Amino acid sequence: MTDQELTIERALCLLPDAKRILVMGCSGGGKSTLSMALSRRFDLPYLSMDRDFFWLPGWVKRDKREERALIAKAVAGERWLMDGTGSSSLDLRLPRAEFVIWVRMPRWLCLYGVFRRGLKHRGGTRPEMAPGCPERMPDREFLSYIWHFEERVSPGIVEALQRYAPDCPVLMLKSRGETARLLDLIESPD
């Protein structure tokens, strides 16, 4: 994919020193679960694109200018782990990231993940979601976004990585097994 793409073993050497980590990928792929675990492990402030920038209570979208201003302020910080793809702000986030994890699961797994979390959190608000945004089952538009993510969104991610972060290391995780392996190795580095 890119010259900066890493193996899990190489990532394990670089991750502990990274002060600004960006985790992105399709909805339902496990970004937030991974992000929260890495945030705890490396003691980095956890920022959720959904909770902290995109959504206001009641599933109201934040104004784009305000959203970008909040993101710009957040990425100016020295230490963070940011969870979320948000292609429209990669120009702000990628130049500041020291490490990128791209959770690139197959679409069927992302669909499963979205339905699973919908059932798990139904009526409640997920930890990575803005207050007042109770979980709901995915609608047709959201399912289409997931189904077509690889062909519609991924090329823009590749382009943004090459344009805004050509030297930033990228770890691509393509299965739950790879994600579990990364977490296991990080938790027990010996």
Q: What integer pLDDT is reported at residue 14 of this predicted model?
A: 96
| Burial call 121-150: b when 16+ CB within 10 Å, e when fewer | eeeeebebbbeebeeeebeeeebebbeebe
Q: Encode pLDDT of 157-178 as tens digits.
A: 999 999 999 999 999 999 999 9
Domain span including residue 44:
5-187
In DSSP terms, which residues pair with 171 in a beta bridge? 6, 101
Question: Is the CA virtual torsion 166, 73, 38, 55 positive or negative?
Answer: negative
**Does the structure show a pLDDT above 70 at 189?**
no
Q: Encode pLDDT of 116-156 as tens digits.
A: 999 999 889 999 999 999 999 899 999 999 999 999 999 99
What's the total number of domains in the chain?
1
Specify the CATH number for the domain of residue 161.
Answer: 3.40.50.300
Q: What integer pLDDT is reported at residue 183 of this predicted model?
A: 95
Q: pTM value?
A: 0.95
